[in-house]
Structure 1
Amino acid sequence: MLTYMFRRLAVGLAMLLALSVLVFILLRLAPGDPVAAYINPSAPLSPQALAELRARLGLDQPLPVQYLAWLRAALSGNFGYSIQRGGVPVLPLVLGRVGPTALLMGTGLVIATVAGIATGIVSAVRRNSSLDVALSAVASLGISSPAFLTALLGLYLFAVKFHVAPAGGMLTPGVPFSLTDLLAHLILPACLLSLGYAAMIMRYMRSSLLEVLNQDYVRTARAKGVREVWVILKHATRNALLPVITLIGSTIGVAVGGAIFLESVFNWPGMGLLLVDAVSSRDYPVIMCATLITGAGVILVNLLTDLLYAVIDPRIQVSK
């Protein structure tokens, strides 16, 4: 197991390095001069001063030299300084936004996992019933609904129309921190984030459980007189969870994209909102750091997903 973990970590580091190269090249290929982000539009520089600024920033060097200089600094924990925020160090700025994003994504994924697995079990057990048809229709609607439409519609209905949830932010300004206030701001964006993923998990769980229910060991358990609820929960559900775990791990990256949009809609102070602001203001150091930390989180979650296989199904052995 340790050998497998170290090998996967090595692959993850290689993927992270490739991601940094890709993002660095894409940022340099973006239209416009990177130096323009450092210049006050109301006080343009002379060509000589512009050339000196470019040389001081290292932007007059070939692209591979620029990347190696950035990588050397990044490996020492120096991701540079934010252009938009007047020289604030990038790494503490980005790390300060990880908590709110992890809270939003974690809550949304927990809601999606619990709701998706529960409705998938009910739909499989009540196959072809009116309840099964209704749940499948709702799941199809949830999968096909764009994230931006769901977010804007949920914001209008629950925050603007019926006033059952705050319209945005993580905490109420000017009010002392309380868990109740945090949950009141969290529940609506987390539920909206979970809708599409709960629908996908429900469909996968239903299909997987229907396949497992036709296996011989399930028939044997029923023939022994095991209660149906234990047949479903103990014998069938555990084996049906493997495709669902794969789905959850593989959709973490997609969930990051959904969280970025939701943070923009609800003004949630996480990495998504920070990244959107950085892209709009061409704050290249923040974009690089936020992208790499997000990529590292996705790679780590995928590693944990693989390790969960052996916990849920002892028959699975990692290859050496």
Structure 2
Amino acid sequence: MGSQVQILRFCLSRLLQLIPVLLGITLIAFLLLRVMPGDPATLILGNRGSAEEIARLTTQLGLDRPVWLQYLNFLKDCLQGSFGNSIAYKTAVGPLIWERLWATLALVGYSTVLALLMTVPLAFLSALRRNGFFDHLIKVLFVMAMSMPAFWIGVLLVLAFSIYWPIFPVSGYGDGFLDRLHHLFLPSFVVALGTAALTIRSMRSSIIGVLSAEYIDTARAKGIGQSALLLRHVFRNSLLSTISVLGVHTSWVIGGTVVIESVFAIPGLGNLLVSSISARDYPMVQGLTVTFAVLVVLINLLTDLAYVIADPRVKLS
């Protein structure tokens, strides 16, 4: 019970500390489009827009008001979760982002699970057979996977497993839990390859360091079996650096889903961002920028909590 109260206090204190960070995020997202050359209303309508239409859109976007008042209105929209009204979709931005958010979260979560399923056994195999054939093979394969562009790997997998061998769908999100797992396997696997390439090397190094520790020799002297030794002592103590790498990389993956969602036509936030930039939908771009930043902040918070769960010696401070 005491540990649960500590975790709750830690979460609340971190959320309070994040308030100025989130305010800074909204300010950057607001100013980012204001510092771009040209008038937003003119850029949106293009050469076909008349002076009356440009003036009407300028008023609609609130661009004729003072900058500080525009920011306060944008901040009010952020707090309400509406983020203003989309120019392309003619409706509030917030519900559209909320609708697309789950596809992106499913992609990121699925890819994280696949990456962990690859990381743990391959890292142990690589560490226990250090400098052997399997160690070098795993290193070469995942360095190659990390060096290749994600969209190129995605296209190759589509050609192989969707067209030549029609095992997985070419695109889409699916309906229902199992159908979505089926649809999202290939894009999630592409993302997981890049994640596993980093986490395997990190966990391998940690396992090698733990295996050389004195308490491992003590545990062996007490007659603890190899399986129990690896599970109880080595696995848990080698997780900390891997959690750090996984948290940082997952934060990057959140923003990097744009390419994968475009290749596999997944109706997520990345796909919505590409179409919004093409349509010059400034309110939507602002809302998505804030949403991506908030997701990264929350992932960093979850990473800190994972540290505590993996190692109770880490203090909640």
TM-score above 0.5:
yes
Instruction: Label 1:188 to 1:63 Cα distance change in 2 as closer, same or farther (>3 A).
Output: same
Secondary structure of 1:165 counterpart: coil
2:139 alignment partner AA: S
Match of 2:3 in 1: none
Deviation at 1:188, TM superposition (A): 0.9
Residues 193, 258 of structure 1: 8 Å contact kept: no
Give 1:57's aligned residue: 61
Partner of 2:25: 19
Give 1:174's aligned residue: none
Contiguous gaps of at least 5 residues in structure 2: 1-5
Match of 2:143 among 132, 140, 143: 140
Superposition map of 1:31-50 within 5 A: 31-36=37-42, 39=45, 42=48, 44-46=49-51, 50=54
What is the CA RMSD across the aligned residues, in angstroms? Answer: 1.9
What amino acid is the match of 2:20? A
What is the identity, as a one-letter code, of the residue corresponding to 1:148?
F
Partner of 2:75: 71
Q: Which residue of 1 aligns with 2:299?
A: 301
- The 8 Å contact of residues 147 and 258 in structure 1, kept in 2 or not, is answered as no
Distance of 1:39 and 1:45 partners within structure 2: 9
1:266 maps to a residue whose letter is F
Q: Name the counterpart of 2:277.
A: 279
Relative distance call for 1:3 and 1:178 in structure 2 (3 A) is closer
Q: CA deviation at 1:69?
A: 2.0
**Residue 31 of structure 1, CA deviation:** 3.6
Aligned match for 2:97, one of 68, 71, 94: 94
2:222 is matched with which residue: 211, 218, 224? 224
Q: 2:84–2:283: 8 Å Cα contact kept in structure 1?
A: yes
Between Structure 1 and Structure 2, how many residues are aligned?
Answer: 311
Structure 2 CA distance for aligned equivalents of residues 32 and 169 of structure 1: 37
Deviations 1:6-64 (A, max 9, x none): 2311232222221121122111222432113653864x323x55345424532123433
Q: CA deviation at 1:82?
A: 1.1
Judged with a 3 Å threshold, the aligned counterparts in structure 2 of structure 1 residues 139 and 253 are, in CA distance, closer, same or farther, namely same
What's 1:130 paired with?
133
What displacement does 1:285 show? 1.2
Query: Are 2:254 and 2:295, in contact at CA under 8 Å, matched by a contact in 1?
Result: no
Which AA in structure 2 matches 1:75? L
User: In structure 1, what residue type is equivalent to 2:293?
Assistant: G
- Residues 207-243 of structure 1: CA deviation (Å, up to 9, x unaligned): 0110111111111011111111111121111010000
Distance in structure 1 (CA, Å) of the matches to 2:187 and 2:61: 40
Q: How far did 1:312 drift?
A: 1.4
Deviation at 1:178, TM superposition (A): 4.8
Q: Which moved more, 1:293-302 or 1:95-104?
A: 293-302
The 1:53–1:261 alpha-carbon spacing in structure 2 relative to 1, beyond 3 Å, is closer
| TM-aligned CA deviation for residue 119 of structure 1 | 0.7
1:105 is displaced (CA, Å) by 0.9
Pair 1:97–1:178, CA change in 2 (3 A): closer
Contact 2:44/2:280 (8 A) holds in 1: no
How big is the shift at 1:111? Answer: 0.5
Greater displacement, 129-138 / 27-36: 27-36
Letter of the structure 1 residue corresponding to residue 147 of structure 2: S
The AA in structure 1 aligned to 2:40 is: P
- Structure 1 residues 284 and 207: alpha-carbon distance in aligned structure 2, compared to 1, 3 A threshold: same
| Structural mapping, 1:261-276, within 5 Å | 261-276=259-274
**Residue pair 2:10, 2:316 contacting (<8 A) in 1 also:** yes
Aligned to 1:80: 84
CA contact (8 A) 2:154 2:186 kept: no
Of residues 4-13 and 225-234 in structure 1, the stretch that sits farther from structure 2 once superposed is: 4-13
In 2, Cα distance between equivalents of 1:39 and 1:228:
69
Cross-structure match for 1:7: 13
Aligned with 2:252 (options 251, 254, 261): 254
Which runs of structure 2 are paired with 1:120-199 in the superposition (5 Å)? 120-171=123-174, 177-199=175-197
